Structure 1
Amino acid sequence: MPEVIADTSPIQYLFQLDLLDLLPCLYGGILLPPAVRDALERGRALGVHLPTVADLPWIRIVEPQTRVLLPLASGLGAGEIQVMALAKETAGHLALLDDRRARRFADLLGVVYTGTLGVLLKAKRARMLDDLAPICDTLEDRGFRLSPAARRALLSLAGEPESPGP
């Protein structure tokens, strides 16, 4: 089972859905670069409902060694850059990215990725979740950008009938 290298967004949304424990169940281990840990800590300090990374024994903080990506990745956050740097350094690892720009850059680098929705779909297929439609509703209520087409595709892949959404 490959380890995953998580960006801030999947950690945030899975935590806010009370589904963060899916990660250690579905993947061999979870790596966070320091920039992601720091972003989570800053968010918590501002009052955002986020996990305390130190309380999650199944997460390892790993500093990327590669700095080459920094000048190439304009418009990306430090966490996204460090996630991709770690993914390039550790073959066979999966990046957890939700941001569209970060995913485009990952495609250019050949980094294999999924996101919050991919984790939820994997959990549904593993029979760890019953229905994704209400989870999609909650995600959208929390500010997750989910187009109607992406919602339909996810529910179709999950074998769920189309629902109207919120």
Structure 2
Amino acid sequence: MMLTICDTSPLLYLHLVGQLELLHLLYNEIVIPPAVQSELVVGANQGVNVPEPLQISWIRVIPVQAQALMPIVTDLGLGESEVIGLALEHPGSRIIMDDQLGRHIVAANQMTLTGTLGVLLKAKQAGHLNEIKMLLNALRTAGLWMSDILVESVLSQANEA
């Protein structure tokens, strides 16, 4: 069964710029592992403006069954490890992740991958957004690191260069 499995960062940043609903529009249902849910709960308890997955009907928490499938990389967070572990348990799944090390592991395992910017680009191409340039600026202001080259590439693909 193909799942769309999301890490914490895309959920957080899309929420902060008021675009979390794009995940539902583009992918219908989003799956998160318990570690991602925990990271969001910890953030909420610390007063951070985070989405509450248990309050969102189209986000489902699925535990990783085979812990042995989770990559053992010391610098990789538990959220990223569980996202990758879930994807390995459900071949053909799509991963939404921004973490650079996690993305390298996903790519090395030849899994389908996108990130926060890829979600915005797909949403524009699907007609859900008129422009993404202002959202990219808002994401930067919210703290999402993006290289200038990546921003230029995304804007070019969105015909906003």
Q: Which amino acid aligns with 2:44?
A: R
Cross-structure match for 1:134: 134
Question: Offset at 1:108?
Answer: 2.1
Question: Offset at 1:65?
Answer: 1.2
Q: Which runs of 5+ in 2 are unaligned?
A: none
Q: Identity, % of aligned pairs? A: 38
Question: Offset at 1:71?
Answer: 6.0
Q: Structure 1's 110 and 74: CA in aligned 2 closer, same or farther, altered over 3 A?
A: farther
Partners of 2:21 and 2:70 lie apart in 1 by 31
Cross-structure match for 1:99: 99
Q: Which amino acid aligns with 1:8?
A: T
Task: Give the SS at the match of 1:38.
Answer: helix
Q: How many residues align?
A: 160
Which has the higher relative contact order, 1 or 2, with Cα contacts under 8 A spaced 6 or more apart?
A: 2
Whether the 8 Å CA contact 2:71–2:84 is kept in 1: the answer is no
Task: Give the SS at the match of 2:67.
Answer: coil
Partners of 2:71 and 2:107 lie apart in 1 by 17
1:84-115 CA distance string (max 9 Å, x none): 01111112210111011111111222222110
Cross-structure match for 2:67: 67
Task: Give the SS at the match of 1:72.
Answer: coil
Cross-structure match for 2:88: 88
Partners of 1:91 and 1:106 lie apart in 2 by 12
Task: Give the SS at the match of 2:68.
Answer: coil
Question: Offset at 1:116?
Answer: 0.3
Q: When the two structures are superposed, what TM-score results if normalisation uses the length of structure 2?
A: 0.95
Q: When the two structures are superposed, what TM-score results if normalisation uses the length of structure 1?
A: 0.92
Q: Which amino acid aligns with 1:102?
A: G
Task: Give the SS at the match of 2:74.
Answer: coil
Cross-structure match for 2:78: 78
Whether the 8 Å CA contact 1:32–1:61 is kept in 2: the answer is yes
Q: Structure 1's 92 and 99: CA in aligned 2 closer, same or farther, altered over 3 A?
A: same
Task: Give the SS at the match of 1:68.
Answer: helix
Cross-structure match for 1:30: 30
1:3-32 CA distance string (max 9 Å, x none): 310000000001111110111110131101
